[in-house]
Each structure stands twice: as structure tokens, then as C-alpha cells.
Amino acid sequence: MALLTRALELVVPPFCWECGGSAASGEPLCRECRTALRWLGEKQAELAGVRLWAAVAYEGPARALVHGLKYRGAPGLARPMAAQMAAGAPAALLECPAALVPVPLHPRRRRRRGYNQAERLAEALSRRTGLPVADVLCRQGPAARQVGQGREERLAGIAGSVALRTRAAPPGEAVLVDDVATTGATLSACAASLLAGGARSVRAVTYARTPGR
């Protein structure tokens, strides 16, 4: 596969997911777009009752990467995105004995997409940090669309749809993993299920978060 990828790059060079220009091999963004990323540093935020850290602001090139991973069938973007997360995370945030818990995707959306982007990010983070992945959450009920809804609507729609998998035990220290945090409604619902199931603490890491949150 690696040889095939290199051969294809000779014919079609890697492109930048933001501007469409040429990017270095293995990089999802060109140099100019990479410098346009707004890094958020090590500061953590409190979003919908969950302690959250994100690598970059959800805008510009970061938005392009999230959309590529989530909507444009590019699960390979999880690797460079996770690399940025692992490199910028605060000390002790991604250390044992914590376990990475991917935010679940509704089965209907997973069938349509072919994968869960949060799970791909968690797996890539696991390879870089050594933390295990605990895929213990699931989505139930109808696949309600969240785009365009306010925070209260999201909280009401999501809280009852996230649950522990049958006979699954949450890790004592859970680190929720997702691609982007906006209102925090999904993270809050996931944290509530983990804590109700016996987790002692829950925090979250995402690649991006909405500016100002």
C-alpha cells in the first residue's frame, strides 16, 4: 500500500484540503494553509459541564480537515489530525491509566459513511499515546439531525440517545474523543452515560472546537 501511494503521488501530487494546492507528502495541508491554523495551546475549557481540550479553532483549514474526515470519505485524515492532537495536548491529559472513548455514531450514519470518524481518531491517538481504546458507548433511537439546532434542542435530543453498550463497563478515567466540539451537547450526553455507568472521571479531547467556546 505504501508503494502504491508513493507511485500515485508521482502522478497526482498530494493536494491541500483547504485550497486545493500541492501539499508535501503525508501532509493534508499546504504550508500556507497549515500556518493559517489557529492553535489553541494547552488551555482547557469547560463546555456543557465537560472539561475539554482541543488542538485548533474550528475555522478555515481546520474546518476543511474535519469535513474531509467526516463527509468526504477520507478516514486517512485521522492520522495527521491525531498527530497534531498528541503533539499539542497538555501534560498528563493523554497518559495512563486513562482510556480513549470514541463518541458514538448512529448506526444509520455509520452505514452510510462506512466508519466512525471519532473511532478513527481514537485509534490513531492510541497508536501515538499507548492508551487503550474503550468503545463502550452507542447511539440509540432515530438519527436526529443536529445542524441548525440550538444548544437546548441538542441537549434534549442527544441525552436519551447515548448509552453504554450491553455488558460494557466504562473505564475509570475516560477521555472522550471526537473531531469537533460545538455546543458540547454530545460530549455532555456521553459523559453522563459514562459517569452513570461507573466512570470516576470524564474529560474530552477533540481536534477542533468552535471559536469562543
Percent of the chain with pLDDT over 90: 77
Q: Would the CA dihedral through 17, 113, 177, 156 be positive or negative?
A: positive
| Contact yes or no for 12/22 (Cβ under 8 A) | no
N- to C-terminal Cα separation, the chain? 40
Mean pLDDT of 181-203: 96
8-state DSSP, 73: S
User: Phi, psi at residue 62, to the nearest 5°?
Assistant: -65, -40
Has residue 167 got a pLDDT over 80? yes
List Cα–Cα distances, 171 to 97, 113, 137, 151, 195, in angstroms: 9, 27, 11, 28, 10
Residues 6+ apart with CB under 8 A from 44: 51, 52, 53, 90, 93
| Contact yes or no for 21/30 (Cβ under 8 A) | yes
Nearest alpha-carbon partner for 207 in 180, 182, 187? 180
- Cα(204)–Cα(202) distance, integer angstroms: 7
Mean pLDDT of 143-148: 54
pLDDT for residue 91: 86
Q: How many residues does the chain have?
A: 213
Has residue 172 got a pLDDT over 50? yes
pLDDT for residue 71: 94
- Cα(53)–Cα(202) distance, integer angstroms: 12
- Cα(70)–Cα(68) distance, integer angstroms: 6
pLDDT in tens, 86-136: 999 998 899 989 999 999 999 999 999 999 999 999 999 999 999 999 999
| Contact yes or no for 29/17 (Cβ under 8 A) | yes
